[in-house]
Structure 1
């Protein structure tokens, strides 16, 4: 039976169990001229401005495994951690590593989930998508000799064959993801090497981070230090698992770090002179927790909660601009040191997919890039000046070629969106063809997106 909730403002929230339930919702919305927002059930979405909310958290089935194609298919409400757990029984995994927010598949595709080595686009093979007219169609990436989207002489929905370039990072407004098919690789473990050093040492030897399985670092601008984590691949039967007592000790250190990290913005705001000490305490705790993992093997994916990830903001930056960015942020942090007690997480990105597999609204390019994540502006309730300082900080990133990620949000719609993402106009054209009556609205963006070309 179709689950349904009623909000005070008469917005209806549905929790469908299969494609049949989704079709009933779409037909009801179309007949009554209702606006719909859908999401996978794991993302903190905006629920304003529509009549119907569709959450896919009840669609959690493992559909099939194709050993010849080395692919797996899941429904959109399955989380990435649940998917990888099911794939372990098949001795398979996905080629996305490092720190990963545990989103559902539908949310991960809609916002373009980013790991510490690449994005969900590199693993995705196809999606079965429900259109606004009720059609259930398989979407794939375009071939190397094809146009980005195959359109005949008459651009109608029947003659339009959409591709995943519009769906990945599509923000949930081009159709509802029913199922998704991913490419598998043989399962393996990862072994991390952890060390601390001055930031300039890492910037000058950036290629070392690119060569590993994945690499990322915690940067403390007030200390001018970084904690670097590099991982290498280890065969499953050759790995040395972590002893239980080290696991307990690691969990203890991370728990204390979590408490200090959450308290730091408030303590630093009211006692600014204590900011540097807070950074040093977190630095020491991460080093102690990381030392418990040294010389041991782990799954290459480290999952964190979506809520924790969405407390901050994430940007993509060209790798060659990183030196300029850290200099600008270092100078900015000296003036706003009371906001900078927590670390910035910087990860290396290796986009191995061909150029025609790039989504229209992807925040990265085919060049070497890195991601920068920070939660410096997560406690905006402390003071109203946070919005101004956040805009000033983001301007530093944007002037160096930075693009904001959709995966840490909800993201506020901006007039600059068309300039920041070169494929925005193409995405608008495809969205207008797929949903001419604009039935679907984005649950992942606060504000209206310009969708008509």
Structure 2
């Protein structure tokens, strides 16, 4: 963590993948180039092993959760403990392909809080021994001036956690979700709008300086609630109307 700023500032885009229950991370440095794409997908490693076999092992771990730390270490040994350079289209470089269903939660925190948040999350996992599936994705985004952007007026770090979600089988994750959300909130975090969170109007008003201005603009531009739904009513702290324009 002491060299994190040099990694983030040393390239156009930086991302790291942390394997819970280990000291292992995979770092990605991304820059634009005019080189010819050289990516060569492997059906065996990326599909048969990286998807089907890995998902089968995760499914077994839902019955034997103590296997999760071993699975994380094994995955890093096979897929993460390598150094490689890849040239391809930007969408294929930036997208982190997750072929199986997951529970997902992601918050943005001020960039300078990255180290302390990751250490607190790691300490909680070690103390509780909660079997957290890989990966924990950490990425960095420049600040902007969009009223409801999680990066509003601050350079931010997004930290994304997941749990495997097999078909027709519940996997316990609420304890992990609550601990993660509490840690992120303590350090000024803002939840990703498109992912799981429990916040509503009162909490958001304290996080976004322009919250009231945005709500006023929304009411002016959508006085009849054409673009509202039950989730947005919760987010904006409104009473459920149960009547939406089709």
Normalising TM by the smaller chain, what interval?
A: 0.7 to 0.9
Q: In terms of mean alpha carbon deviation, does 270-279 or 374-383 score higher?
A: 374-383
- Check conservation: 1:317, 1:402, Cα contact below 8 A: yes
In the other structure, the counterpart of 1:373 is: 160
Task: Determine which of 43, 66, 74 is the counterpart of 1:281.
Answer: 74
Q: 1:259 to 1:325 in 2, by over 3 A?
A: farther
Match of 1:157 in 2: none
Aligned residue-pair number: 234
1:296/1:428 Cα in 2 relative to 1: closer, same or farther (>3 Å)? closer
| Equivalent residue, structure 2, for 1:204 | 3
Output the CA distance in 2 between the equivalents of 1:390 and 1:403: 14
1:253 aligned residue: 45
Equivalent-residue separation in structure 1 for 2:220 and 2:183 (angstroms): 36
Question: Are the aligned partners of 2:101 and 2:164 in contact in 1 as well (CA < 8 Å)?
Answer: no
Query: Which of 52, 61, 73 pairs up with 1:268?
Result: 61
Q: Normalised by the size of structure 1, how large is the TM-score?
A: 0.45
Which residue, 364, 384, 409 being the options, matches 2:151? 364
Structure ID, larger Rg = 1
Q: CA deviation at 1:305?
A: 6.7
Pair 304,422 (structure 1): closer, same or farther in 2 beyond 3 Å: same
Contact 1:339 1:377 (8 Å CA) reproduced: no
**Structure 1 unaligned residues grouped into runs of 5+:** 1-199
The alpha-carbon distance between structure 1 residues 438 and 398, as it changes in their structure 2 partners (threshold 3 A), is same
Q: Considering fraction of residues, name the structure with more strand.
A: 1
Gaps of 5+ in 2: 240-246
Q: Please, which of 223, 226, 238 is the counterpart of residue 439 of structure 1?
A: 226
Structure 2-normalised TM-score?
A: 0.78
RMSD: 3.2
- Offset of residue 278 of structure 1: 0.4
Give, in angstroms, the shift of residue 342 of structure 1: 1.1
Q: Secondary structure at the match of 1:362?
A: coil
Whether the 8 Å contact between 2:102 and 2:163 is mirrored in structure 1 is no
